[in-house]
Structure 1
Amino acid sequence: MILCLHIGNTHVVGGVFDGQALQFDFRRTSHARISADEFGLFLRGVLLSNEIEPNRIGQVALSSVLPEATYALSSACRKYFDVEPFIVRAGVRTGLKIRYRNPQDVGADRIINAIAAVHQFPDRDLVVAGFGTATTFCAIGADKTFFGGVILPGVRTSLEALVTRAAKLSSVEIAGVDHVIGRSTAESMQSGLYYGQIGMAREIIGRIRTEVFGGQQPLVIGTGEFAGLFESSGLLDVIRPQLMLEGLFLALLLNS
């Protein structure tokens, strides 16, 4: 069995593959100063609660945006599973032609999403829209060229900024709404968060279509914690919540 783990700014997202199939997935809050033992005990607990003996884990694929946590999780894999993890980092095989000025600047999360996207939708122009701590857009050509993308504040990050910086605003539930005019402060904030993301996304996807794909419409893939929020918005052609885990699994196979 293969354990795939991504350490994001907000969550650790994980899943276990048996053969080609994702058996289950999980998430927990992430922070940079978590210890190897905390990681190890958590992972063993998750496996046992899903009736999987930890010694059945033969490989681990790991990506991260938090260097300190990467070290702790790598140590946990060695200590608790006796496995040296494969880590997605600069220099690993991806199957992509990365057009960033400095390819090492591309976040591991965006790379593994792109790997999964081109595998699932071959020979297609793609935009991968990730809705998490940040909202990101990556443009990928039918020939697997990773052209680059756009990064902007995510839904929760925008909400936290409002609550932190505006004295009279309190936190609200993040939710899709069917009307733009709010009749209370909470409704107005929910509308702004929801339609603000939709407006930004439409503008960005339209500009990517013009600048990168010569006016042709790419397939837009939604992923990340909040992708489902925009399912009925017309923004996304498909939603793949587990795109990141699938990309990690494929990256491991590419480098085995």
Structure 2
Amino acid sequence: MNLIVDFGNTSIKAAIFDGKNLVRTYSDISPQNLKMLNDENNLEHVIVSSVTKSEQEIKEVLERDLIYLSSSLPLPFQINYKTPQTLGLDRIAGVAGVQELFPNENALVIDMGTCITYDFIDANSVYHGGGISPGMKMRFKALHNFTAKLPLIEPEEDVELTGQSTKESILSGIIYGISAEIDGIIRMYSDKCAHLRIIICGGDAKFFENKLKAGIFAAPELVLMGLNRILLYNA
């Protein structure tokens, strides 16, 4: 059994894998819960991806050796990126997850979390980079924080294209704006690359997966699957 841990910007996610098989996932857990998972399961290996905790801090919590994800760790794909040391760990893990699901295919990973990230890997397992733009909640907060009168509102499912109030206009601008952005970027990558697989993941993926035009494969556990693939590659 292997423990997979993702310390994100706002929460901790974890999973237990038996080889390549996902056994169980855990969301919004605490460091103390992680220690319990480690103590209560017969774990062979642990891998951690963290943007908030250092390797030493996590080792002190779990009281064991572990694999700590970084761009310098051996990876199952080649990185063709000018500054690999600045590459987000969630982006690395997402690309590895796509390799697990769709090996030897051209793929675009769209991760809809705090930010929306786009990551392209080709059929020869070469990662080329992608793009970063503000996520949905960040856009709502930006309109409120950087203007004098626009309110902070929450996203809603049924939104009219033509807003007839300030609230409706904000909802339309952000939700249809994100949808148009994603559809447009998918179209541009598809024009450059035939037989492109599109994968969407992240906290806001479920909100948007039915609002997008292109055929998309939803993989909510993509990052955890990718971390497990990297663990198995290094174990």
TM-score (norm. length: structure 1): 0.83
Pairwise CA distance, 1:2: 1.7
2:119/2:128 contact within 8 Å kept? yes
Say if 2:107 and 2:198, in contact at 8 Å, map to a contact too: yes
Alpha-carbon distance in 1 for matches of 2:143, 2:156: 16
The corresponding residue for 2:97 is 116
| Worse overlay, 115-124 or 181-190 | 181-190
Please name the residue that 1:140 is paired with.
121
Q: CA deviation at 1:53?
A: 5.6
Cα deviation 1:187-206 (Å, max 9, x = unaligned)? 22222221111111122222
Q: What pairs up with 1:195-206 in 2 under 5 angstroms?
A: 195-206=176-187
The structure-2 alpha-carbon separation of the partners of 1:12 and 1:6, relative to structure 1 and needing over 3 Å to count, comes to same
For the 8 Å contact 1:198–1:235, the answer to whether it is kept is no
Q: Pick closer, same or farther for the CA change 1:181–1:119 going to 2, 3 Å.
A: same
1:104 aligns to what?
Answer: 85
Of 171-180 and 95-104, more deviation after overlay is shown by 171-180
Q: Secondary structure at the match of 2:160?
A: coil
Where in structure 1 do 4 or more consecutive aligned residues deviate above 6 Å?
none
Residue type at the aligned position of 2:27: R
**Percent of residue pairs bearing the same amino acid type:** 29
Tell me: CA distance 1:170–1:24, structure 2 relative to 1, closer, same or farther (3 Å): farther
Q: Which amino acid aligns with 1:114?
A: V
Match of 2:49 in 1: 63
Segments of 5+ residues of structure 2 without an aligned counterpart are none
Contact 1:7–1:69, Cα closer than 8 Å, also in 2: no
Residue among 201, 205, 227 paired with 1:227: 205
Task: Give TM-score scaled by structure 2 length.
Answer: 0.89
> Which residue in 1 is equivalent to 2:16?
16
Q: Offset at 1:217?
A: 4.6
**SS where residue 4 of structure 1 aligns?**
strand
Q: Which amino acid aligns with 1:234?
A: K
Residues 143-222 of structure 1 correspond to what in structure 2 (within 5 A)? 143-211=124-192, 213=193, 216-222=194-200
1:42 to 33, 42, 49: 33
Answer yes or no: is the 8 Å Cα contact 2:15–2:26 preserved in 1. yes
Structure 1 unaligned segments of length 5 or more: list them: 30-37
**How many equivalent pairs are there?**
234
* Aligned pairs (5 A) from 1:81-96: 83-96=64-77
What's 1:251 paired with?
A: 230
Larger RCO, structures 1/2 (Cα 8 Å, 6+ apart): 2
2:110–2:117 CA contact under 8 A, matched in 1: yes
Letter in 1 for 2:174: L
1:247–1:206 distance in 2 versus 1, CA, 3 Å: same
Look up the SS of the partner of 2:60 in the other structure.
Answer: helix
- Give yes or no for the alignment of 1:238 onto 2:212: no
**2:228 maps to amino acid:** F
Query: Does the Cα contact within 8 Å between 2:14 and 2:25 map onto a contact in 1?
Result: yes
SS of aligned partner of 2:100? helix
What SS does structure 1 have at the residue aligned with 2:24?
A: strand
Counterpart of 2:219, as a letter, is R
Separation in 1, partners of 2:18, 2:76: 23
Cα 1:27/1:168, change in 2 over 3 Å: farther
Change (3 A) 1:197 1:203: same
Q: CA RMSD in A?
A: 2.2
Amino acid at match of 1:251: I
